[in-house]
Amino acid sequence: MKIGFIGLGNMGAPMAANLVAAGHDVTGYDTVAAPEGMTMAASAAEAAQGADVVITMLPNGTILRAVAEEVIHAMHPGAVLLDCSTVDVDSARAVAAQAADREIQALDAPVSGGIGGAAAGTLTFMVGGTRDALAAASPLLDEMGGRTVYCGPSGNGQAAKICNNMILGATMSVTCEAFALADKLGLDRQAMYDVASTSSGQSWSLTTYCPAPGVGPEAPSDNDYKPGFAADLMLKDLALAAQAAEAADAATPLGTEALRQYRMFVEDEDGAGRDFSAMLPRYATKGRA
């Protein structure tokens, strides 16, 4: 396929590289990055010109709306706009409506799996949009990822992503709290892991991405908390969940508390640029006050 790929940062660049390796004709655009081995355009519209699929991986909904305004007018009817960013649900639905007015098919397809999954081509895509658009984009999703989950109409991919990451933020935070409490009670971390990982306290945050170094499978905690998934990004996703909850009049007290903790960690402490599991050393230094 002929593909325009807009947004070639830590996630977009390896995703685009996998498409190039699969033999697709990929033209990229980014305001900063210019990965080697890829044809680069001078603008987003130029990257989108004549493309069968335009893929975007952008920081937020405001930027997505601006880029969509530019690229939709450069795309031909029937082409697919595949947005893999994590943005607010309203922006995803607004872009889909704008695309439909131009007879462009739109999908919101945020990802799970982090930088490692992007490089390995094992991402999970949570997809909102029409099934026809999904069928057209499926070969590319298969080459960039290991799993695609269809979530329903436009915006539902974003809804699935922020609900999932609200669970993740809250469970990681309380897992870190539990390890810090275990330390102060004199319970060995390995013993704590061995019990919780095989009991009712089991979670992905514990058994796959353990925040305690040297315990469980290798994770960012074993690499001085260099980010696989940055605390800054968790803060962004929890803020999106809070925004959606307010709009939907949904009670999310634990999600709101996780947002408060990550906001303090990133904005007021040393969490910026660290993995989101670095909440463990944070809690280890805190008392009740």
Task: Specify burial of residue 229 (Cβ count, 10 A radius: 0-12, 13-18, 19+).
Answer: buried
Q: Can you give the CATH number for the domain in which 52 is found? A: 3.40.50.720
Strands 53-56 and 39-40, by their bridges, are unpaired
Q: Which of 161, 226, 236, 286 is catalytic?
A: 161
Q: Does the pLDDT of residue 20 top 80, yes or no? A: yes
Task: Let me know: does 14 contact 37? Beta carbons within 8 Å.
Answer: no
Domain termination residue (choose one: 153, 181, 204): 153
Q: How confident is the model at residue 86 (pLDDT cuts 50, 70, 90)?
A: very high
Distance CA 99, CA 110 (A): 18
236 is catalytic: no
Whether the model clears a pTM of 0.85, i.e. scores above it, the answer is yes
- Residue 72 and residue 203 in one domain: no
Domain termination residue (choose one: 134, 153, 172): 153
Q: How confident is the model at residue 113 (pLDDT cuts 50, 70, 90)?
A: confident
**Total domain count, the chain:** 2
Domain holding 69, by residue range, is 2-153
Q: Does the pLDDT of residue 37 top 90, yes or no? A: no
Q: How confident is the model at residue 116 (pLDDT cuts 50, 70, 90)?
A: confident
Domain termination residue (choose one: 121, 153, 185): 153
